[in-house]
Chains A and B, each alone.
Chain A
Amino acid sequence: MNMMEEAASQLERDHVHSVYDKIAPYFNDSRYKAWPKVQQFLLDLQPGSIVADIGCGNGKYLHINKEVFKMGCDVCRPLVDFAWSQGHEVQMCDGLHLPYRDGCFDAVLSIAVIHHLSTKERRIRAIKEMARTLRVGGRIMIYVWAMEQKRRKFEKQDIFVPWNPNPQSPTHREPAKPRKRATAQSVSEAIGNADKHRKVRSTSSVADEEELTTPHCTTPQQSTQRLWFFSRSLDSVFDFGSLSISRSSSRDLSTLSSPAGENERNKSSHWGRGRGLIKQVSSFFSPTSVIGSEEDVFDSVTNLHKGQNAPGGNNNGPENQSVSVSLAQECGSLALPDLVPFQKEHLKQSSDESEGGLQGKEQHESTKSSQGSERQVEGSCLRYYHVFREGELAELIENHVDELLVKHTYFDHANWCVVAEKVQICKI
């Protein structure tokens, strides 16, 4: 596995897989949303179709349309276990390596999944894998978070989103139900029950989380749901020719161990572990909340780099890489300072332009928040997302996945959506 693959893999392990493992128990309370268009897609299938939900989570779509045979898969064991307990056929596997034979499915779902893949190449591979398992004429429906949201636009495409359980009911779990398989009645009963009890909070959309909050709310937990952290995409991190750092306010580095003392020997182990490859994080604030000085924590990365960075051009030898990576690892493993809600509006951004040079257009307003307050947001509960621009998903398919033909694209509840059909490729 090359370095980028390794880093991508590690990032997803830390900020997708392990987070879902932790938060899986919370998926089965509170409101559930089956996106109606996904539901319709399933209901429109020919009876006797075989459908796969790739990245099925707790299986919330697997009960729809009993005329078709559905199976689901996911990397998250607790979620898959839950789906099984509801009577569904599910497997553990990862989207880049699907254990299904070619052309065996009539339809495939990928609902809020591939936005968790941290490089463009991996996202393409995932789509191609799903296309491989589709029969010619079969259709795939893909949903990904949109950069353009109802009330705001994400500033960057690669973000980390903190998880906060519903403050009202963290343990509102339904008592474990007996498995809904096994009897003739239970097939339809299971479906009926599933509809009734399916109060899973859909975390597949920012819109859901938005709906939980009200403007000018002051509850810390609600407001923290509106916070996102931005990162450079791994694609740009590994674009050695364009590494550049933004200028931000400096911050004391006492909380970070200095990489200066680290020697070359550690470099490969750092790459190997690749933990927390967050090159730079900046934050975006909703009107009702603000992040304290988390940004500054990560600014240290940039400050240390300043002296070594030649403006523009290819300026990074392996040494720089190891410095920044090891710093980033330190950042990644730090518990982030608490997110303190504010009433007034704060906006903080630092951007890094990949066109070289040290550009920043941040306005850093000092805040009252500080590190080391009691309520710590665990860095480990940040989920990584690559949010998609309008047209990006369709373009990805059109330019890189010949075997799929885009049939529909639309915006649905804060997601960009594509329906595509598997076509025969004639190789001459």
Chain B
Amino acid sequence: MAAVAVHQFVQCITCHAWSPDQSMIAFCPNNNEVHIYKLLQDKWEKLHVLQKHDQLVSGIDWSGTSNRIVSVSHDRNSFVWNQEGPEWVPTLVILRLNRAALCVQWSPKGFAVCRWVSKVIRKKHNSSVTGVSWHPNNILLATTSTDGKCRVFSTFIKGVDTRESKTGSSSDPKFGEQILQLDLSSSWAFGVNWSPSGNTLAYVGHNSMIYFVDDVGPSPLAQNVAVRYLPLRDVLFVSEKMVIGVGFDCNPMVFAADKSGLWSFIRFLGERKESSSGPKSGSQISEAFGKLYGQSRQGLSNDTVEPSKIQGAAHDNCINCIELLKQKGPKTKRFSTSGMDGKVVIWDLDNQHDLREYL
């Protein structure tokens, strides 16, 4: 089984982030607080409660380089938390947003660029930014928004950032310059992620589509993959050729690229519930469809109905956050998901033999 650990923390989790050594987890239990738990002798103990925000904390990230936590909230504020002794001390980051902040991410080099990011985002976006992802080169930033577009910006600052290797354009782009705008989705776009090399970008739309973009630059190559199931909320590249998508189906979905670079859905990662939507069990859905089609439950085909939940499904509500976990070996195999059921599930791809070729 791919899910190696399931931890029920609270009723509902908005977002989560791991400490650099993965011994502690910070998450928002669907309120204005950030809870930090530590795994002590196989039990999770609540160590700290960070209370500074006035409204829902919608994004958390824990820097791998500086051990600082950044949190953003619907109250339009962002705090950077520094651990001083036993306490976590907040520093307010002025974002100057006139709407809620929904997402945040530390850059690979650990720069505290929340403020700058907010400046960039404010300029070009006309509606909520739902997802943010830094390119491994620490210069490009991708965002997804409720206007359905995915944009890539340069955050190159002369004198501060250094160009390590060849890049797409010959001249240095200005800070905040929009490199690319992708208008592939007609509905809200969520969850954007760069592949480990930075060559490919993936993001999802609320219309049950997932988009893969290669050659991000003047002439990008986009692939639109229609998802058979309910929409996804977040994506994660586990390797150059494998992406995990999570969302309303409560079960991580594996997408992979074949040798020619064509992406497609491979399978669900966890145990599969037959009727896979909605917050509670499949019986509600089957009953609703039964009434719609004017037939008894027994009469419906087994494609759409499974009255009882299959035991063993890891999440039983929408998964809204997926994070990479530090790996023991060279290949990425482990990641964690958190969802509206208040659970954090750790997944390991080690035993998934059919997926080995994509790692």
Chains A and B bind each other:
no
